[in-house]
Amino acid sequence: MSQNWWQNFFHGVALDFWRAAVPEEHTRAEAGFIKKHLQVVPGGKILDVPCGNGRLSLALAARGFQLTGVDIATEFIEEARAKSAERGLPIEWHNREMRDLPWTDEFEGAFCFGNSFGYLDDEGNADFLGAVCRALKSRARFIIDYGAVAEALLPILEEERSFEIGGIALSAKSQYDYEQARLITDYTFSRDGLADTRPSSQRVYSYRELAILLAETGFTPEAAYGSELEEPFKLRAQRLLLVSRKTA
């Protein structure tokens, strides 16, 4: 598998599946969580990276914040740009890789949602966190949504699973590479008699490993939740929502 598998994964049927998989009420709940825990005053500037099709940026912009969204998927950025124009929301959209953040001391808050953290190797993940830290103003908060955290993923890991959403069948075959601490998954999307298999790989950090990585890149972890409903993070939690603050 290519180390940069994510460069060619996010297009076509994979994006259609993601659109169908996330209901509007889930987006509203996540936007409410982000608003509460970033503690940015209305009108403040928030960075969404990677932003996908902009669902959370759009929701937060509608609540009075200034959003900037970054994503490598051209199809998603074009969709996000069209939606913000249609709704009259002045959001900045940037079609670039998640480590490629050219700002310094620009934002009052930032978030990385959609379980989009950990695609890179350890150096790349650290580079991403460092780029976010540079883009934030002093003492600003950053939230990571991380479904592949070891405490959530490994106790319930299934090697094979399948389901259907929005007319698209998805089967996933996974294995855990304990030497590299990575989840290796082949996703097969099937629609209208056509099957499309795409490989993926995601780093599986424990909470402690991620907290250390954040500290090394300029953040201080402040709170950990197991869902947007503010359930406490624990073993077998649904996911990790980790709220950190820029240290300086």
Question: pLDDT by residue (tens digit) across 142-196?
Answer: 999 999 999 999 999 999 999 999 999 999 999 999 999 999 999 999 999 999 9
C-alpha 102: how far from its chain's center?
19
Counted domains in the chain: 2
Residue 64: how many CB atoms within 10 A of its CB?
12
The predicted-structure confidence for 23-63, as pLDDT tens digits, reads as follows: 999 999 999 999 999 999 999 999 999 999 999 999 999 99
| 19 and 94 share one domain | yes
Q: What is the CATH number of the domain that holds 187?
A: 2.20.25
What CATH number corresponds to the domain at position 85?
3.40.50.150
Residues 6+ apart with CB under 8 A from 193: none
Task: Say yes or no: 171 and 48 in one domain.
Answer: no
> What DSSP character marks residue 99?
T
The answer to whether the CB of 183 falls within 8 A of the CB of 201 is yes
Q: Are residues 107 and 15 in the same domain?
A: yes
pLDDT, position 6: 85
Q: What is the pLDDT of residue 175?
A: 97
Task: Give residue 13's domain range.
Answer: 6-147+205-246
240 in the same domain as 166? no
Q: How many residues does the chain have?
A: 248
Residues 55 and 103 in one domain: yes
Residue 115 contacts by C-beta under 8 Å, 6 or more apart in sequence? Answer: 145, 146, 147, 148, 202, 239
pLDDT digits (tens, 9 = 90+) for 3-13: 789 888 988 99
Determine the number of helices (DSSP H) and then strands (DSSP E) in the chain. 8, 11
Which residues fall within 8 angstroms of residue 78, CB to CB, at 6 or more apart? Answer: none
At 208, give phi and psi (nearest 5°): -60, -45
- pLDDT (0 to 100) of residue 29: 97
Is residue 1 assigned to a domain? no
Per-residue pLDDT of 72-130, as tens digits, reads 999 999 999 999 999 999 999 999 999 999 999 999 999 999 999 999 999 999 999 99
Shared-domain flag, residues 54 and 143: yes
Residue 1: pLDDT band with limits 50, 70, 90: low
Tell me what pLDDT residue 2 has. Answer: 63
Contact 70, 103 (CB under 8 A): no
